[in-house]
């Protein structure tokens, strides 16, 4: 079986070639930060009230009281026909007529929207308010449904057609359909296109993630998986509110966020195909050509023969055994780990996306709040990387989740006049949940043996996508009570932190290769049970990796 790392060790760990691949693939992820969170501004709901047409026969006094006070002002108005009759009789509101006794009616003539924050959004474009306000969270959920669907197919497509091809095809899908989305003529058209954009967004992220892990050496992989993909996603996320601040019209904003994707086109001629994928497909000469070009860039000599044909044949023989989802539930220990993994990814995802999407509902400027919540991801990911190096996995995950959950629960105790403190607590909560989200992939990959590792990570990632689909509805509850989303997300996150203590510990232990070896990892939840051994080509375990990070 080919030991890829040993065969390519002559390249060195960090040469010019590795730096080039690291930064170019990381940079290709920046547009994902735009698209993953752009719905916060594209579908923002500004302050609004019922429109009173200029043709209504109302005196100035009656026009001023035509909208009921409080929450009703957004979706109801006093019956205009009645007001017009009182106005024609010369009666005055409050003195001659008790306004509160007048019958109300819905906003039959549309709404007037405040333009202090947004000149236009899809909400103002198609009146997604009042009886249609359910379309707002559904728009976001449809994007994440696309992400979920993309998660199912991206790995298989990458296995069949190559990492590089799928990376650029799905980039084209994300960019192309986003441009078409700019010209949407209805909410239905916008939402369907948004679903397709979600499919492309996750697929190119996964392809870039896999490609980087397969090209880079051992020491660079963990750094790329955390500091590379996560930090560059955060950079795109931080740039989003800057674009939105200067571009207040949703169509122009979406176009501006889409254009950077076009700058990735030249990368086609720079980024190579995965040599490991080529080896598993029997295209060993092409893999050697890529490694020789890498050696030339690093200015190191390459051996005459890099990959031996006999090793390739042995590697191909080991690919014949295939594992399925059923292998995640065949033994007691793996079954318990799988059940807890699903809950871990699901709840962590709800917390991360719920906090992120709830940004417009925070006190203060939404653009500044979004930037701060994006910027906090940089130290959070660095913190996660340090924890992974030195602290046991269970305690790292538990501490991060408890930090995030407890802080979110404390928000309900903050007086309304201390708005800055509430924002600070949300940022600390985001810090903890993001750190946990960054660590969950590494921990999950270490729990499962090689033969089902990719399947285990895949089921966890799918659970994460389900959590992202549900998260907009947690935010939606804030329309009824601003504290309710934080209470629910905080409670679930704290429970998640306690749950992770029941996982086996993996720090400092060798990665299990077989199901039998996985049973030897002891934890509070697990008992040992014998299962038959098998193995596969190592590149297969990466082919469907669906990352622990956001989109």
Whether 549 maps to a domain, the answer reads no
**What CA–CA distance (Å, rounded) separates 456 from 325?**
8
Query: Residue 192's pLDDT is what?
Result: 94
Q: How far is CA 539 from the centre of its chain?
A: 25
State pLDDT tens for residues 290-326. Answer: 888 888 888 888 777 776 665 555 544 444 456 666 7
pLDDT computed for residue 527 by the predictor:
47
Which of 287, 320, 353 lies at the terminal end of a domain, its last residue? 320
- 298-316 b/e (C-beta count within 10 Å ≥ 16 → b): beeebeeebbeeeebeebb
- Judgement on whether residues 386 and 472 belong to the same structural domain of the protein: yes
Over 321-384, what HEC string results?
CCCCHHHHCCCHHHHHHHHHHHHHHHHHHHHHHHHHHCHHHCCCCHHHHHHHHHHCHHHHHHHH
Total count of residues recorded for the chain: 551
* 524 inside domain: yes
Give dist(CA 443, CA 447) in Å, integer: 6
pLDDT of amino acid 177: 93
Q: Are residues 335 and 216 in the same domain?
A: no
Q: Within this chain, do residues 390 and 472 fall inside the same structural domain, yes or no? A: yes
Structural domain span for residue 106: 48-113
CA distance 550 to 546: 10
Residues 6+ apart with CB under 8 A from 481: none
Task: Indicate if 18 and 158 belong to the same structural domain.
Answer: yes
Cα atoms in the Cβ-side hemisphere of radius 13 Å centred on 285: 0
Residues 332 and 392 in one domain: yes
Tell me, rounded to whole angstroms, the distance of Cα 55 from its chain centroid.
Answer: 48
Same domain, 87 and 225: no
Cα–chain center distance at 231 = 13
Please check whether residue 544 lies inside any domain of the structure: no
Instruction: State phi, psi for 54 to the nearest 5 degrees.
Output: -65, -25
Q: What is the CATH number of the domain that holds 225?
A: 1.20.1250.20
Task: Give yes or no: residues 355 and 316 share one domain.
Answer: no
The CA distance from 503 to 495, in Å, is 14
pLDDT of residue 451: 62
**pLDDT per residue over 266-282, tens digit each?**
989 888 888 877 877 77
Domain termination site, one of 303, 320, 337:
320
DSSP 78: E
DSSP string across 105-167? EE-TT-EEE--SS-SB-HHHHHT--GGGTTHHHHHHHHHHHHHHHHHHHHHHHHHHH-HHHHH
Spans of the chain below 50 pLDDT: 1, 315-320, 519-521, 523-524, 526-551
Cα 257 from Cα 285, distance rounded (Å): 40
Q: How many domains does the chain have?
A: 3
> Within a domain: residue 550?
no
Kindly tell me the sign of the dihedral angle through the C-alpha atoms of 127, 133, 139, 140.
positive
83 shares a domain with 11: no
pLDDT number for residue 521: 47
Residues 364 and 427 sit within 8 Å (Cβ to Cβ): no
> Do both 273 and 389 map to the same domain?
no
Query: Are 279 and 413 within one domain?
Result: no
Contact indicator for 546, 525 with CB cutoff of 8 Å: no
Specify the pLDDT at position 545: 40
With respect to residue 227, please indicate whether it lies within any of the assigned structural domains. Answer: yes
- Cβ–Cβ < 8 Å for 303, 10: yes
Query: What distance in Å separates the CA atoms of residue 192 and residue 212, rounded to the nearest whole number?
Result: 31
In a domain, 551, yes or no: no
Same domain, 61 and 181: no
Residue for token pair 């207040």: 248
**Which of 297, 320, 343 is a domain's end point?**
320
- The answer to whether position 123 is within a domain reads no
Burial of 26 (0-12, 13-18, 19+ CB in 10 A): buried
Asked if residue 417 belongs to a domain, the reply is: yes
Q: What is the pTM of this model?
A: 0.78
For residues 304 and 331, membership in a common domain is answered with no
């Amino acid at each position: 079986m080919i030991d890829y790392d040993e065969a390519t060790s002559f390249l060195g760990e960090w040469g010019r070639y590795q730096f080039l691949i690291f930064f170019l693939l990381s940079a290709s992820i920046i547009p994902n930060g735009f698209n993953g969170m752009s719905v916060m501004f594209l579908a923002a709901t500004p302050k609004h009230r019922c429109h009173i047409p200029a043709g209504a026969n109302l005196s100035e006094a009656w026009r001023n009281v035509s909208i009921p006070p409080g929450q009703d002002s957004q979706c109801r108005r006093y019956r205009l026909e009645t007001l017009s009759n009182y106005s024609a009789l010369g009666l005055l509101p409050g003195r001659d007529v008790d306004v509160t006794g007048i019958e109300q009616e819905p906003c039959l003539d549309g709404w007037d929207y405040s333009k202090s924050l947004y000149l236009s959004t899809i909400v103002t474009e198609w009146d997604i308010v009042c009886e249609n306000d359910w379309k707002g969270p559904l728009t976001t959920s449809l994007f994440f449904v696309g992400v979920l669907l993309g998660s199912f197919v991206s790995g298989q497509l990458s296995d069949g057609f190559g990492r590089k091809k799928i990376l650029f095809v799905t980039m084209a899908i994300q960019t192309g359909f986003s441009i078409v989305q700019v010209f949407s003529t209805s909410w239905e058209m916008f939402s369907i296109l948004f679903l397709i954009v979600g499919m492309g967004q996750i697929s190119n992220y996964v392809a870039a993630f896999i490609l980087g892990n397969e090209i880079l050496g051992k020491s660079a992989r963990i750094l790329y998986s955390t500091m590379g993909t996560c930090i560059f996603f955060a950079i795109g996320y931080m740039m989003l509110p800057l674009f939105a601040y200067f571009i207040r019209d949703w169509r122009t904003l979406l176009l501006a966020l889409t254009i950077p994707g076009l700058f990735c086109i030249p990368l086609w001629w720079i980024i190579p195909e995965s040599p490991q994928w080529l080896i598993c497909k029997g295209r060993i000469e092409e893999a050697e050509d890529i490694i020789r070009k890498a050696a030339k860039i690093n200015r190191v000599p390459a051996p005459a023969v890099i990959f031996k044909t006999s090793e390739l044949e042995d590697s191909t023989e080991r690919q014949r055994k295939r594992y399925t989802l059923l292998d995640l539930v065949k033994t007691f220990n793996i079954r318990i780990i799988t059940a807890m993994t699903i809950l871990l990814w699901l709840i962590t995802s709800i917390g991360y996306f719920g906090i992120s999407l709830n940004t417009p509902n925070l006190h203060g400027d939404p653009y500044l709040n979004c930037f701060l919540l994006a910027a906090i991801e940089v130290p959070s990911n660095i913190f996660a990387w340090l924890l992974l190096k030195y602290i046991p996995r269970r305690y790292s995950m538990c501490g991060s989740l408890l930090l995030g959950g407890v802080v979110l629960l404390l928000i309900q105790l903050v007086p309304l006049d201390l708005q800055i403190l509430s924002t600070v607590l949300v940022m600390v909560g985001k810090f903890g949940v993001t750190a946990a989200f960054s660590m969950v992939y590494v921990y999950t990959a270490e729990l499962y043996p090689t033969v089902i590792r990719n399947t285990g990570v895949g089921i966890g990632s799918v659970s994460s996508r389900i959590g992202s689909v549900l998260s907009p509805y947690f935010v939606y509850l804030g329309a009824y009570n601003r504290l309710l989303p934080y209470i629910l997300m905080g409670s679930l996150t704290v429970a998640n932190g306690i749950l992770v203590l029941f996982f086996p510990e993996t720090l400092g232990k060798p990665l299990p290769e077989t199901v039998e070896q996985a049973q030897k990892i002891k934890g509070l939840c697990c008992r040992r049970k014998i299962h038959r051994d098998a193995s596969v080509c190592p590149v297969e375990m990466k082919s469907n990796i669906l990352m622990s990070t956001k989109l």
